[in-house]
Amino acid sequence: MARLVFLGRLEDVAGADEITLPLAAPTPLDAVVAQLPAALARALGDPRIRVAVNGALVAGPALIAPGDELAFLPPVSGG
Amino acid sequence: MARLVFLGRLEDVAGADEITLPLAAPTPLDAVVAQLPAALARALGDPRIRVAVNGALVAGPALIAPGDELAFLPPVSGG
Amino acid sequence: MRVVRLLDTALDPAAELARFAAAHAGAGGLVSFLGQVRGGEGIEALDLRHFPPLTLPGIEALADSASARWRLDGIAILHRIGEMPPAAPIVLVAAAARHRRDAFSAVDYAMDHLKSDSWFWKREKRDGAWRWIEPRAEDGADLARWAPVT
Amino acid sequence: MRVVRLLDTALDPAAELARFAAAHAGAGGLVSFLGQVRGGEGIEALDLRHFPPLTLPGIEALADSASARWRLDGIAILHRIGEMPPAAPIVLVAAAARHRRDAFSAVDYAMDHLKSDSWFWKREKRDGAWRWIEPRAEDGADLARWAPVT
C-alpha cells in the first residue's frame, strides 16, 4: 500500500484529498501514476507539479516503497 | 504689543517659549528682531528659520502689526 | 522574538500585535501587514489548504531569511489555514527594528514570499460553488524584486 | 476612513488598529507603522513640541497627498505630542488598500514626511539634562525617494 495525497485543484481531479493504492514492492513513480485513472494520471503529468515522498520534495525519478506517502503539489495560489 | 513664539532650541536661546514685545505701529520684521537681546537676534538670523505671522508662514520681508503673533520655527528634528 | 504559527482557529491581530509590540518596546519601529479575506464579488468563503510537512517549515525558513537580510529585533508570521468568512484575518506579519526601513523591507519581503512562494492552496466559494485560485502573472514579478543573497 | 489626530495623552495602538481594521474589513491589506520612544543610552524621556496652527493642518495635507498618490481605502495618522517615557507609542500610521503595495508605499511615504517634513521639535532627556534633536543628514535622502507628483 502507498498513500497518495492531492493538493489544490488535484483534489478535485482525484475526487478525494487522498487515496491508497496497493503496492507490493518498490515501484518507480511513473509506474505508480500509470495505475491511476487516465484523467488523473494526465493531470499529474503537468511538469509544474512537485512531488514529495514522505514529506520531502523529490526531483527526478523516484522509487516508491510500500508504506510511503506520495504527495502531489500543484503550483501554489499566489496572491 | 506683539507676541513672539519660539519653537525648538530657540526656546532655550530666548529663555522662554514666548515673550511679548511693545509694538505701537506696524514694524518690519527685521526691526522687531533688532529689539531683542543680541544672542537671540543672532540665532533668529539663521536663514533656515521659518517665520509664521498669525499662524501662516511668510516668505521675505514682513510687516508686523500690533497684536500679531510672530512664530520662529527652526528646522524640525527629523527622524 | 521570533514567532511563526499556523492557526486553524481565528487570528486576533490586535492581541497579537499588542503582544509583539510589548516584547519590542525599545525597538523604535514596528511594521505590520494584516491580510483579510476580501469581501464583495459574491465571495462567501475562502478555504486555505496546506501541506503540513512543508508549509510550516517553509515559513520558518522565510522568517530566518528575512532576519538574515535585515537588522531586525524580531519578526512574527501568523497564518490562518482552513475555511474563513469575508473580512476574517488571514495573515499577520510584523517586524520590529531600530531603523524603520529594515522593518518595512522585511514585512514586504515576507508578504511577497508568503503569497507566491509558500505551500498554500486557496479556493473561493462564490454563489455556492468552490473554485481553486490559480497563480497570477504578477507573482513572479513580486518575487523578482528580491535579489538572492549571494 | 481618514483619521488624523494629535494626542496629548497616551496612544493605544492596539485599540486604534482594531478600530481601523474593523472599518476596512473588506480591504484585503492593511499596513501599519508604530513608532515607540527608544530605550537605552540613558534616555529618560522624549518631549515632542508642535506649532498648533501648522502641525495638524500639515499632517492632514500629508494624509490627503498619500491618498492622492495611491489607491487607498483609508488612512490613519495618529501622533503624540508632549512628554513620553521610553517605550511609549509616539506615532501610528495605517493604510488599508485592495493591493498591498499601495498600502506599503503610503505608510512608508507618510513616515518619511512625518519624520523630516512635519512641524515637530523633539528633545530628549538623558541623565537629567534635556537636549534638542537636530535634523539628520539622511532625512533629505528619505524625502528624495518620493518624486513630486507633476
In a domain, D87, yes or no: yes
In a domain, C148, yes or no: no
Distance from CA of C72 to the nearest CA of D (A): 14
| Residue D139: band (very low, low, confident or very high) from pLDDT cuts 50, 70, 90 | confident
In a domain, D48, yes or no: yes
Assess A48–C contact: CB distance below 8 Å, yes or no.
Answer: no
Closest partner residue to D26 (CB to CB) among C34, C86, C103 is C86
In a domain, C150, yes or no: no
Domains and CATH numbers, chain A: 2-73 (3.10.20.30)
Average pLDDT (C78-99) is 96
Closest partner residue to A77 (CB to CB) among C54, C122, C142 is C122
HEC sequence for D51-64: CHHHHHHHHHHHHH
What is the predicted pLDDT for the residue at B79? Answer: 67
Kindly report, residue by residue over A46-72, the tens digit of the pLDDT.
999 999 999 999 988 889 999 999 999
C36:D21 CB<8 A: yes
User: D69: which 3 cell numbers?
Assistant: 498618490
Average pLDDT (D139-150) is 79
CATH, residue D106: 3.90.1170.40
C28:D34 CB<8 A: no
**What are the C-alpha distances in Å from C8 to residues A20, C5, C84, D28?**
26, 10, 10, 20
* Mean of the per-residue pLDDT values of chain C: 93
What is the predicted pLDDT for the residue at C100? Answer: 94
C36:D14 CB<8 A: no
Chain A neighbors of C46, CB-CB under 8 A = none
The ipTM, to two decimals, is 0.91
Kindly report, residue by residue over D5-17, the tens digit of the pLDDT.
999 999 999 999 9
Kindly report, residue by residue over D74-131, the tens digit of the pLDDT.
999 999 999 999 999 999 999 999 999 999 999 999 999 999 899 999 999 999 999 9
Distance from CA of C52 to the nearest CA of D (A): 25
* Distance, CA of D68 to CA of C35 (rounded, Å): 23
Assess A15–C contact: CB distance below 8 Å, yes or no.
Answer: no
Q: Which chain D residue shows the shortest CA-CA distance from C41?
A: D26
| Residue C36: band (very low, low, confident or very high) from pLDDT cuts 50, 70, 90 | very high
Chain C neighbors of A74, CB-CB under 8 A = 121
Assess A55–C contact: CB distance below 8 Å, yes or no.
Answer: yes
In a domain, D150, yes or no: no
In a domain, D137, yes or no: yes
Assess D31–C contact: CB distance below 8 Å, yes or no.
Answer: yes
Using CB atoms within 10 Å of the CB of residue D143, give its burial: 0 to 12 exposed, 13 to 18 middle, 19+ buried. middle
pLDDT > 80? residue A38: yes
How many structural domains compose chain C?
Answer: 1
The set of residues, in sequence order, having a beta carbon less than 8 Å from that of C87 and lying 6+ positions away, is C36, C37, C39, D25, D26
Distance from CA of B13 to the nearest CA of D (A): 12
C134:A73 CB<8 A: no
What is the predicted pLDDT for the residue at D80? Answer: 98
Closest partner residue to C87 (CB to CB) among D26, D35, D38 is D26
Closest to C90 in 3D by CA, of C101, C102, C77, C81? C81
Distance from CA of A55 to the nearest CA of C (A): 5
What is the predicted pLDDT for the residue at D149? Answer: 63
Closest partner residue to C34 (CB to CB) among D21, D38, D108 is D21
What is the predicted pLDDT for the residue at A79? Answer: 67
* Domain housing D45: 2-143
In percent, the amount of chain C with pLDDT more than 90 equals: 79
pLDDT > 90? residue C94: yes
In a domain, D93, yes or no: yes
The CA-CA-CA angle for residues D58, D143, D136, to 5°, reads 95
In a domain, C120, yes or no: yes
Assess D116–C contact: CB distance below 8 Å, yes or no.
Answer: no
B79:D139 CB<8 A: yes
